[in-house]
Amino acid sequence: MLLCGLNSTNESVNHKHSARICVPVCEKDLDALRSACQRALEWADLIELRLDCLAAIPEQLPDVARPVILTLRPAEQGGHRNLTREERQRFWSSIAPQGETVWWDIEGDLAQDLAPDWSRTIVSHHDFSGVPDDLEQIYERLARTPAAVLKISVQANDIVDCIRIFNLLDRARNDGRELIAIAMGNAGIATRILGPSRGSFLTYGALDDQSATAPGQVNARKLRSLYHLDTIDDETMICGLIGLPVMHSVSPHIHNAAFVSEGVNGVYLPFEVQNAEQFFKRMVHPRTRELNWNLRGLSVTAPHKQAVMHCLDWIDADAKEIGAVNTVVIENERLLGYNTDAAGFIEPLQKRFGSLTDARVAIIGAGGAARAAIWALKRQSANVTLFARDPNRLRPLADLFEIACTSLADASFVGYDLVINATPLGSGTHINESPATREQLAGSRCVYDLIYNPVETRLLLEAKEAGCETLGGLEMLIAQAEKQFELWTGKNFSEGLSQMKTDLVRVLRENP
Ligand code: NAP
């Protein structure tokens, strides 16, 4: 059949990196496969040739300058090809072992029927619906085969599903078995990034952002250049951002760069959390968590900034007054809560204007960001007026902080020193919208949009046309992150700030 003399590299699978990344390539024809393998070389220690993606399986595959894993996944186990059991058996029986740099990934249901070179066999189990109740029994079943490596890949429907995967890796380490264990999906990303440091034989990294072969698979380049996979070990301080959604965030670009520039052994991950209370109980609080990991700190974003307040042992007085926590520090057995949004919000204004005493400020929006902004501005003795569309949110917030308020409809900002957007208008699905027109903004001095993606919003364009000064949300994002970093590490990253800002603008422009 195929693969007479597939030439894979002579390098052993123990490549130069301390964490192995396998890049799967899934292409319809040989030319595309060849070119994908070439591109994968930059980040891959191994390349998985997904034979089920090819329209026709050829006699000979291209030479690959890395160890390879051959996979022929049937559609019912997440593959791209309808294959009967007999066809799968025939395929594997027809090829000869290819030497020590060619691995076979054989699904567990076939393993008993075949006699492969077990020293180069990965025996695998996939579940795309969830984490099966009998996960441990599945591991035991796979472990009864003589395969050199076991692989279990299941779907995480919630971040707490990662617990069983990490615990399975601990078990395999104790049993002296090589295991690849992955929780697929955005909620499982921690298993892909932290897996190798907890003993996973390898982690899979996508060829690029469009080429993931399984849900939640992280781009291989990001695994190495953003998450610095090779430096993660048992001692690594783990921090992350909890929110829903969270994958769009650029905070990993800030904190991971800061860990490197400040020489701190740390990593910062996105944690997609649906239920903050469950996450804190089962994965965060040192007294109740079911996972032994070196978690040091969390950033908190929507919709959890208020919910997490019920999960903490102590909350800073400012955060209590603001009514929201965006930063958690895990200190010994206690969880401490802070709000760095307010200080991050005010810092760029103070840098630009110095004192804000008696400045006339309009805030548009009545959500969490508006709350922190009002609190910080009142501290500076600014004269704040709140504008929002929903009177049921506008009036209570204005009353709470004892400020003026008015409806957003037909607002005019003539005579204001500062107009602040604290709504999502101008980002995401509202990208072409603006909370105010150039006519409404004419006669105000400066417009500050808290949105940082895109870097230049529709509102800021309108403001420029109205002759106003402008300020985007990126400086606030960096300033609040800087204060979080200091709470977790005792260090600040002000030295690398201008480079970080340049890098973030590039990241945001490349991935709008
Ligand atoms: P939030 O709690 O959901 O509040 C959003 C506010 O915007 C609500 O008052 C909402 O009004 C209002 N709003 C939504 N759609 C609107 C529309 N079509 N017209 C008028 N008002 C509308 O969100 P948040 O956490 O305060 O965040 C607000 C913005 O600030 C987001 O874009 C976020 O990215 C940005 N932000 C930036 C930073 C930074 O570091 N740069 C930090 C925090 C937040 P309703 O109640 O009527 O829906």
- What percent of the chain stands above pLDDT 70? 97
Instruction: For Cα atoms 254, 243, 196, give the angle at the middle one, nearest 5 degrees.
Output: 65
Mean pLDDT of 382-411: 94
Residue 6 pLDDT:
64
So what's the pLDDT on residue 459? 98
Ligand 1 centroid to Cα of residue 355, in Å, is 26
Burial 272-285 (b: 16+ CB within 10 A, else e): bbeebeebbbbbbb
What integer is the mean pLDDT of 133-140? 98
366 CB under 6 A from ligand 1? yes
| Neighbour-count burial of 47, counting CB atoms closer than 10 A to its CB (0-12 exposed, 13-18 middle, 19+ buried) | buried
In our burial notation (b when 16+ CB lie closer than 10 A, e otherwise), range 443-475 reads ebbbbbbbbbbbbebbbbebbeebebebbbbbb
pLDDT value of residue 16: 56
Average pLDDT over residues 498-512: 86
Ligand 1 neighbourhood includes 480 CB (under 6 angstroms):
yes
Q: What is the pLDDT of residue 13?
A: 52
Confidence of residue 4 (pLDDT cuts 50, 70, 90): very low
- Position in ligand 1 atom list of the atom nearest CA 301: 25
Nearest alpha carbon, ligand 1 atom 22? 423
Yes or no: say if 507 and 265 are a contact pair by the CB < 8 Å rule. Answer: no
Average pLDDT value for residue range 252-275: 96
DSSP code of residue 101: T
Ligand 1 touching residue 420 (CB < 6 A): no
Q: In angstroms, how far is the first alpha carbon of the chain from the final one?
A: 46
Q: Would you say 218 and 193 are in contact if contact means Cβ atoms under 8 Å apart?
A: yes
Interval between CA 424 and ligand 1 midpoint (Å): 5
- Between the CA of 422 and the centroid of ligand 1 the distance, in Å, is 5
Q: Assess whether the C-beta atom of 422 lies below 6 angstroms from ligand 1.
A: yes
Q: Which residue has the tokens 């994908």?
A: 36
- Residues making up the chain, counted from first to last: 512
Helix axis angle for 474-489 and 251-261, nearest 10°, is 50
Distances (CA, A) of 423 to 294, 338, 440, 448: 36, 22, 17, 12
Q: For the residues of 349-391, what is the DSSP string, one character each?
A: HHHHHS--TT-EEEEE--SHHHHHHHHHHHHTT-EEEEEES-H
Cα 497 from Cα 349, distance rounded (Å): 17
pLDDT band at 96 (very low <50, low <70, confident <90, very high): confident
Confirm if 345 and 478 have CB atoms less than 8 A apart: no
Smallest CA separation from ligand 1 atom 3, residue:
367
> How would residue 14 be classed by pLDDT, with cut points 50, 70 and 90?
very low
Is residue 429's pLDDT more than 50? yes
Question: Of the candidates 82, 110, 116, which has an alpha carbon nearest to the alpha carbon of residue 97?
Answer: 116
Specify the pLDDT at position 491.
94
Whether the per-residue pLDDT at 497 is higher than 90: the answer is: no
Q: Residue 511: pLDDT above 80? A: no
Closest by CA position to 153, among listed 145, 161, 84 = 161
- The pLDDT value recorded for residue 322 is 95
Taking only the tens place, the pLDDT of each residue in 57-77 is: 888 888 899 999 999 999 999
Amino acid letter at 90? R
Q: Is 141 helix (H, G, I), strand (E, B) or coil?
A: helix
Instruction: Give the three-state DSSP class for 393.
Output: helix
Per-residue pLDDT tens over the stretch 106-135: 999 999 899 899 999 999 999 999 999 999
Q: Which residues are catalytic?
A: 305
Closest CA to 47 of 205, 227, 224: 205
Q: Which of 420, 425, 450, 474 to mutate to test the pocket of ligand 1 (most atoms within 8 A of CB)?
A: 450
φ, ψ of residue 456 in degrees (nearest 5): -115, 110
Beta strands of 81-184 (E only): which ranges? 102-107, 121-127, 149-155, 178-184
pLDDT digits (tens, 9 = 90+) for 178-190: 999 999 999 999 9
Burial class (CB in 10 A: 0-12, 13-18, 19+), 355: exposed
117 phi, psi to nearest 5 deg: -75, 100
Mean local confidence (pLDDT), 402-409: 93
Beta carbons of 213 and 77 less than 8 angstroms apart: no
DSSP-based three-state secondary structure for 266: strand
Minimum CA distance residue for ligand 1 atom 45: 390
Query: 82 falls in which pLDDT band (50, 70, 90)?
Result: very high
Share above pLDDT 90 across residues of the chain, in percent, rounded to a whole number: 88
Q: What is the pLDDT of residue 393?
A: 93
C-beta separation of 336 from 312 below 8 A:
yes
Q: Tell how far the Cα of 275 is from the centroid of ligand 1, in angstroms.
A: 21
Query: Taking the model in full, what pTM does it have?
Result: 0.94
Confidence band of 291 (pLDDT split at 50, 70, 90): very high
Please state, rounded to an integer, the average pLDDT across all residues of the chain: 94
The best mutation among 308, 423, 433 to test binding of ligand 1, ranked by most ligand atoms within 8 Å of the C-beta, falls on: 423
Give the per-residue pLDDT at 10.
47
Q: What is the pLDDT of residue 338?
A: 98
Q: Evaluate: CB of 393 within 6 angstroms of ligand 1.
A: yes
Average pLDDT over residues 234-250: 95
Residue 95 pLDDT > 90: no
Assess whether the C-beta atom of 323 lies below 6 angstroms from ligand 1.
no
**In the prediction, which pLDDT does 434 show?**
97
Cα–Cα distance list, 500 to 38, 150, 176, 204 (Å): 31, 40, 42, 28
Distance from the alpha carbon of residue 440 to the mean position of ligand 1, in angstroms = 20
389 Cα: distance to centroid of ligand 1 (angstroms): 12
**CB-CB contact of 299 with 275 (8 Å):** no
